[in-house]
């Protein structure tokens, strides 16, 4: 698996990451969503450099010009509900992309053990397309693997890209072992630890709750 970690190079991205982590800034849910969206835009731009392009001629008011246009058929797939702000950020750049949505949640069997339950999916045909799986938090990696398995019935993508905001090293290792070898991960920043419940430390908390309010 090819892994690109964006915060290894200083940029404005680091400001947005700092704000989504800061518990004082997190009190403004609109700003939290917007920062996740902006991080998605940056990730989309970096990912776009790895895609395929073709030459085409456009007409301007004063003549013609050969330009490079995206050749890939992109499908953005987000894990509900936390993935929606990040999805919007990528959609701002991949504005012609098809869209898929899938649910995945942790069903706890004990204080520390859980299984991933996938109950809903809506997806176009994925056959020979560029699939971009969107999930802000890559903790254990089990959700992304379960979602990928759930999408197989919609066809086999030509390329698979994962886009995340914060991940843990254990989660990255897990998806390396369970997803196709040619998968590419684009992630803003990586933390080293998971706690006993499988949450990223220091992380930022629950991205879905911070975006949309606490759930029962």
pLDDT in tens, 57-104: 999 999 999 999 999 999 999 998 889 999 999 999 999 999 999 987
Helix (H, G, I), strand (E, B) or coil at 184: strand
Overall size of the chain counted in residues: 216
Q: How many CB atoms lie under 10 A from the CB of residue 122?
A: 12
Residue 112: the pLDDT is 64
What is the structure's pLDDT at 55? 98
pLDDT score, position 179: 96
Model pLDDT for residues 125-135, shown as the tens digit of each residue:
999 999 999 99
Rg, Å, the chain Cα set: 18
* The pLDDT of residue 192: 94
156: which residues sit within 8 A by CB, 6+ positions away? 126, 127, 128
**pLDDT score of 173:** 97
Look at residue 108 in the predicted model and tell me its pLDDT: 64
Q: What is the pTM of this model?
A: 0.93
How many CB atoms sit inside 10 A of residue 63's CB? 7
Structural domains present in the chain: 2-50+73-204 (3.40.50.2020)
In this prediction, residue 6 carries a pLDDT of 98
Residue 202 has a pLDDT of: 97
- Mean pLDDT of all residues in 19-36: 97
Of 196 and 21, the structure prediction assigns the larger pLDDT to 21
Q: Do 94 and 148 contact (CB within 8 A), yes or no?
A: no
Q: Is the pLDDT of residue 115 over 80?
A: no
In this model, does residue 29 exceed pLDDT 70? yes
């Amino acid at each position: 698996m090819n892994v690109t970690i964006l915060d290894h190079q200083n940029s404005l991205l680091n400001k947005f990451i700092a704000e989504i982590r800061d518990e004082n800034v997190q009190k403004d849910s609109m700003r939290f969503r917007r920062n996740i969206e902006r991080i998605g835009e940056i990730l989309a731009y970096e990912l776009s450099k790895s895609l395929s392009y073709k030459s085409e001629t456009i007409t301007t008011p004063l003549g013609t010009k050969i330009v490079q246009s995206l050749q890939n058929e992109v499908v953005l797939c987000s894990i509900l509900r936390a993935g929606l702000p990040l999805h919007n950020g990528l959609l701002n750049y991949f504005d012609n992309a098809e869209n898929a949505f899938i649910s995945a949640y942790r069903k706890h069997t004990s204080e520390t053990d859980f299984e991933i339950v996938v109950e809903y999916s809506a997806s176009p045909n994925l056959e020979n397309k560029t699939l971009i799986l969107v999930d802000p938090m890559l903790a254990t990696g089990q959700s992304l693997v379960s979602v990928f398995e759930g999408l197989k019935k919609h066809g086999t993508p030509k390329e698979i890209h994962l886009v995340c905001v914060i991940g843990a090293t254990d989660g990255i290792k897990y998806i390396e072992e369970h997803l196709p070898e040619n998968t590419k991960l684009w992630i803003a920043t990586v933390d080293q630890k998971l706690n006993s419940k499988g949450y990223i430390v220091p992380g930022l908390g629950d991205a879905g709750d911070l975006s949309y309010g606490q759930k029962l």
